[in-house]
Amino acid sequence: MAKVTSKLQLTIPKALATQFGIRPGDEVTFEAAGDVIRIRPGPLPARARLDRETRLRLLSEADARFLAAVTSPTDEMIDRGWTREDLYEERLRWPRF
């Protein structure tokens, strides 16, 4: 038995959600059937229609895009006219108070 909240929401029992493959974020449809309401799982999400190899390939491509976006060039690759070591040497010359 599920309770309807003040926002007219309800929770699907875990056993039924597992049995019908309903996961968080999935859509369900409500159908009036006489004096009862039927709840049906919506269409399968796109991820369920992809085979394992395709999902792994897509994951590898996403990983490569992420690494390309977050990997910054090293100091040797950028010519700023100064290096990180120069900054440390300059700091060592500052007077200490």
Listed residue (44, 63, 67) closest to 55, CA to CA: 63
Backbone phi, psi, residue 33, to 5°:
-135, 80
Chain-centroid distance of CA 18 in Å reads: 21
pLDDT tens, residue by residue, 60-78: 999 988 888 776 666 456 6
Taking the complete model, does pTM exceed 0.85, yes or no? no
What value does the mean pLDDT take over residues 82-96? Answer: 71
Look up residue 23 and give its two tokens: 């996961």
How many C-beta neighbours within 10 Å does residue 26 have?
16
pLDDT at 8: 92
pLDDT at 36: 93
pLDDT tens, residue by residue, 22-54: 888 888 889 999 999 998 887 766 556 778 898
